[in-house]
Structure 1
Amino acid sequence: MATIDRQATTLALAHALSAAERGLAVFPLSRTKLPALRSPHRDDPTAPPCHGECGRFGHGVYDASTEPERIRELFAAAPWATGYGIACGLEPHHLIGIDLDTKSGTDSSAALRELALRHLFTIPETVVVLTPSGGRHLWLSGSPDVVVPNSAGRLAPGIDIRGAGGYLVGPGSRTAHGVYSTAPGTSHLAPAPCPRALLRLLTPPPRTHHPTPSSAGGHGQGLVQFVAAAHEGQRNTRLFWAACRAYENGIGDELVEPLVDAAVQVGLSEREARSTVGSARRLVGGRQG
């Protein structure tokens, strides 16, 4: 059972309510930075994708709300929460998070400056959140007609993007490694508009569409949707499970590209996704050989 730090939970709730007043949809996080409430569907891997339509808590970023009463209910259901997540891509800010990591061994801030010089844009003055590891999160507002996907290292090494379906750890959150805080002089700011040139970089051309083969039928499409509904922390597990089922049913090779596409859309790198699918193919092949 999770240890309850009532003071940390009270502070996290207070910060979350303050963020909600600024139009930011929030939900509780544990010390691991993952959603504090577990999925009500976790014991049923064949359950259809659910983004909260069932009416229960435990859908991660899809629990996020700006309504004070609902936020209090979420935290009451997770008294071990010590932080809060801020959902990206939602009205009114259509928040985009630029995560400048320090753990990759690269200078991600320099990489962003180089991109700005090469593509002729300037990073505006905006909210900056400092992470316990020494990284920074830049908050930018997007456009209502542009969907920015999550990505890891695609823009440049050490730069991760939090977009639609993703979330940022809110300032004031306490994690196992320390506290997230707003950089001095930026707490009063609203997320600045994302420069158009940067927005174009964040929305790459659509990947080549690989329609689910007719022979895969509804079962194949269901497996792809299962991966597409994955939250952070369960993406690899869902992809591996779906790929195993596909190979067991003789449609694995036909579903490779749709499964990889779905995994990339929820934040896995293409290399990682293909590696996971390959592991499933080898595992099932070994069973059937």
Structure 2
Amino acid sequence: MVGPGSASAHTAALANALVAVRRGLPVFPLSRAKQPAVPSPHRTDWPRIPCRGECGRVGHGVYDATLDPDAVRALFAAAPWATGYGIACMRPAHHLIGIDLDVKTGTAGLAAFRALAAGLGFALPATVTVRTPSGGSHLWLTGPPGIHVPNSASRLAPGIDVRGTGGYLAGPGSLTLRGTYRLAPGSPQRPAPVPGALLALLTQPLRRPAPSIGTAWSPRARALVRFVAASRPGERNARLFWAACRAYESGHGEDTAGALIAAAAATGLPRREAAATVYSAGRYGR
């Protein structure tokens, strides 16, 4: 249901999204929770099949992002509760890289980023800066095409998150549960190129720890964890669901759930999605 004031917020979000499109930034609608607003067309599919829009329907989050104004209007029409918009990173024309500087207790993202810049020997670029409702900042940088920038949280330093390939940033003017994202006063209109030293650091592949396998488990349980750990993109969720079902059927579900989730996360499947899949398998297996 669209609540009081949501209609005007929705209209403003669409208008801001269309401005972003004119500046070469592919967008899609966001809910107040800063999540993709258009429901997934696969939410009732079982088992879940990874899809990035190949089915031709909308509802694939960041993979819906487009530079077509008519397609943007259609996306917002499909989600009248949307009060913000996401900007897809590492997509033409700007191949945006987002540096999220947090201000949570015990961290100071901007100070950490300055220290990182000093250590790598590059100057902080004057670039588009968006203030977040929590008091942090999003720095927009442009990268070269054809590279992969992994998304990460506190990988560079505490308080510094990175939004790269497959990631997105809430656009300025987006209204969320915590407040509104706004351009910082005096912010440039165009993002600056990412410094070379920083790009070299950003494009290093993530090192994921190998999941631990309990030595007291049966060979069957250990084999299931290894089966999930060997998953490739496009099959991770289905393999995880199958393995978790077999684990619960054999009585090892509760013992191996954590390792199965860790194994799936090590292959790149989001931990929250992996946990939901194992939970569903538990219900099915029981």
Query: 2:155 is matched with which residue?
Result: 154
Query: Counterpart of 1:8 in structure 2: which amino acid?
Result: A
The residue number in structure 2 matching 1:112 is: 113
Which structure 2 residues correspond to residues 92-111 of structure 1 after superposition, within 5 A?
92-111=93-112
User: What is the Cα deviation at residue 146 of structure 1?
Assistant: 1.7
Which residue does 2:126 correspond to in 1? 125
Q: Which amino acid aligns with 2:267?
A: A
Deviation at 1:58, TM superposition (A): 0.8
Deviations 1:252-271, CA, capped at 9 Å, x for gaps = 799788623323x75x6xxx
Aligned to 2:264: 259
RMSD: 3.6
Aligned match of 2:10: 9
Change over 3 Å in CA distance of 1:109–1:221 after alignment to 2? closer
Residue 38 of structure 1: how far off its partner (Å): 1.5
Q: 1:189 maps to what in 2?
A: 189
| Structure 2 partner of 1:201 | 201
Identity rate of aligned residues, in percent?
Answer: 50
Which residue in 2 is equivalent to 1:50? 51
Using the alignment, how far apart are the partners of 2:273 and 2:60 within structure 1?
23
Q: Indicate conservation of the 8 Å contact 2:208/2:266, yes or no.
A: no
Distance in 1 (CA, whole Å) between partners of 2:185 and 2:263 is: 45
Q: After TM superposition, where is structure 1 displaced by more than 3 Å over at least 4 residues in a row?
A: 205-210, 219-229, 238-243, 245-258
Name the counterpart of 1:180: 181
- Alignment check: 8 A CA contact 1:2 1:80 kept: yes
Q: Which runs of 5+ in 1 are unaligned?
A: 230-237
CA contact (8 A) 2:229 2:267 kept: no
Amino acid at match of 1:195: P
SS in 2 for 1:190: coil
Q: Is the 8 A contact 2:2 2:81 kept in 1?
A: yes
Range 114-123 or range 3-12, more displaced: 3-12
CA displacement at 1:140 relative to structure 2: 0.3
Instruction: Give the superposition deviation at 1:154.
Output: 0.7
- Quickly say closer, same or farther: Cα 1:24–1:118, change in 2 above 3 A: same
* Structure 1 residue 208, shift from structure 2 partner: 8.3
Matched to 2:265, the amino acid is: V
Deviation at 1:242, TM superposition (A): 6.8
Distance in structure 1 (CA, Å) of the matches to 2:246 and 2:191 = 43
Count of residues in correspondence between the two structures: 263
Amino acid across the alignment from 1:198 = L
Does the CA-based 8 Å contact 1:260-1:273 persist in structure 2? no
**Equivalent-residue separation in structure 2 for 1:99 and 1:246 (angstroms):** 40
Deviation at 1:226, TM superposition (A): 5.8
Q: 2:175 matched to 1:170?
A: no
TM-score by length of 2: 0.79
Gaps of 5+ in 2: 211-222
C-alpha spacing 1:110/1:208, structure 2 compared with 1 (3 Å): closer
